[in-house]
Amino acid sequence: MTLSQAAFGIYIFVDILRGGSLTSYFFYVSLFVVIYKLILHPFFLTPLRHLPEAKGFKPLLGHGMIMFQRPGGEPHLKIMKETPNNGIILIRGLFHSTRLILTTPAALADVLVHNSYDFEKPPWARAFLRKFLGNGLLMSEGDEHKYHRKRIAPAFHFRHIKELYPVLWSKSIEFCDVVRAALGERPDKVLDIGHYSTQVTLDIIGLAGLGRDIGSLRNSDDELIKNYEEILEPTTEKAVYFILHLVLSPWVIGNLPWKLNRMVKITTGNLKRICTEFVADRKAKMKNEDAESEESCDILSIMIRSNDFSDENLVDQLLTFLAAGHETTSSALTWASYLLSLHPTIQTRLREEIHKTIPNPKALSNPTFDIANLLENMPYLNGVCNEVLRLFPTIPVSARVAIRDTTIAGQFIPSGTMSFIVPWAINRNPALWGPDSEDFVPERWIDKDTGRATMNGGANSNYAFLTFLHGPRSCIGERFARAEMRSLIATFVGSFEMEMADPGEKVIVGGTITSKPMKGMRLRLKAVGWGNR
């Protein structure tokens, strides 16, 4: 309680004892609360009031309207460019609530690493995401998160990822075969690549996560594909649905006479049922496995053997890994095809490196070939992958709420303060990346002296690249996602020349949870000769 609150409370109490009207004092108390919340605290009393503030403030709305502009993260980038700051920029939310945008490596390091467990995802965000991802690793906080992450981490060990490369390569080749067959049926040779990228990434996470081939590439009517595409397809209606969760309770939204509510309930119910069947099937198979047979190393098997998860929690974890594990790379592959279509010179140079390093893609099925070593040591391929991930981070904006009094970059942060971590803006910030920060430049990831790929892109800090975040809450599947992306882009670019179906199309970045093109990604493809293919 502040001094002004205490003084006002004492004044009212004394006046009531003297015979004042309760009704009139109720009015004055209500008025004081409104004035305190809207004016006194946000503009005169908060310890954050001296921070540099973004332009564009509107009474009551704060900076809220510009925050809802698309693509997500672009308004934050504009604010970073226009507002001189030392790592923290103050913005106003609805009814002048205090929000922070973090802009420098020091500020980001405090939230993501040094004081990471002082911050949690906002309750409304967790309630919204839990509808689609279950109560898995992404939704857990504090000690529960530490516990679960420690027991799931072995499935993502770098040695295990290297062992998965043959599977990744085989599925990537199958993906190209399916695309080639689809092109044969289309005289215009135009395909929406998003659907096929979702199929192949679901198949891959099925093998790595469940130890089973879901077979989405061979079945275009796959139930899993249909449900995920229904949920994740970016539309204006879904964007409104997401925004309403910022201001209304889930109960209120769930009881609105809205067709989307029924769709969400049906699709999420279907996904939970499918994952429940997957868990039961895997447990039954593990029971019948020969004791001397080699243990399965997929994520689900590792979690089952640990005996640390109930069946219900196994389903939640599986919901998380199926969604996060396929959607992130599917989105990245879609944006890679977009950027390469816009930059034919880069596309040609990449294809030349792929064909030179791997003259015959079918030969890599031979176990004597070290696929991991070949792909991880192709400098231009890795430069392209990193640059795609930099410019189009799958999760463009993330929020954290301080659960206790703490500090960020030396600034006292009261409990309850919300901060925005914005990969889209940080990854494109000219203060961190230079004047060509928003250009597609794969060469920035190649060392000029050695010609080898680097992991910093020429930036002075690891915190200039936030696609996978950092610290205890960083993406546990980063190595897996990078390996998967290398395989998919190498086979796709090695097999096809690509250009936009409509060269004049203005691609609009949409999506609620992830960044995706609003109207799909229609490409004109031409198969090229590669080895004996």
Q: What are phi and psi of 419, to 5 degrees?
A: -120, 145
Give the pair of three-digit tokens for residue 191.
């395909």
Cβ contacts of residue 343 below 8 Å, gap of 6+?
440
CA atoms of 135 and 403, how far apart (whole Å): 20
How far, in whole angstroms, is CA 362 from its chain's centroid? Answer: 33
385 is in an annotated binding site: no
Single out the residue of 463, 479, 477 nearest to residue 421, CA to CA: 463
Question: How many helices and strands (H and E) does the chain possess?
Answer: 21, 12
Residue-wise burial string across 202-241, b where 16 or more C-beta atoms lie within 10 A, e elsewhere: bbbbbbbbbbbebebbeeeebebbebbeebbebeeebbeb
Q: Is residue 420 within 8 Å of 76, Cβ to Cβ?
A: yes
- Note if the bond before 257 is cis, omega within 30 degrees: no
Beta strands in 447-506 (DSSP E): 496-500
CA atoms of 358 and 371, how far apart (whole Å): 10
Q: How many CA atoms lie within 13 A of 5 on its CB side?
A: 10
Q: Is residue 515 within 8 Å of 396, Cβ to Cβ?
A: yes
Q: Is residue 338 within 8 Å of 507, Cβ to Cβ?
A: yes
Integer distance in angstroms from the first to the last C-alpha of the chain?
A: 73
CA atoms of 276 and 316, how far apart (whole Å): 9
Is beta strand 509-510 parallel, antiparallel or unpaired with respect to 418-421? unpaired
Neighbours of 315 (CB within 10 A): 24
CA atoms of 272 and 56, how far apart (whole Å): 43
DSSP H helices in 289-370: 299-306, 311-342, 344-357
Q: Is residue 298 within 8 Å of 208, Cβ to Cβ?
A: yes
Is beta strand 406-408 parallel, antiparallel or unpaired with respect to 411-413? antiparallel
Single out the residue of 304, 308, 265, 306 nearest to residue 284, CA to CA: 304
How far, in whole angstroms, is CA 420 from its chain's centroid? Answer: 14
Single out the residue of 11, 112, 116 nearest to residue 461, CA to CA: 112
CA distances from residue 32 to 7, 8, 44, 94, 167 in whole angstroms, order as listed: 12, 9, 15, 19, 65
Binding residue positions for heme: 475
Residues placed in the known binding site: 475
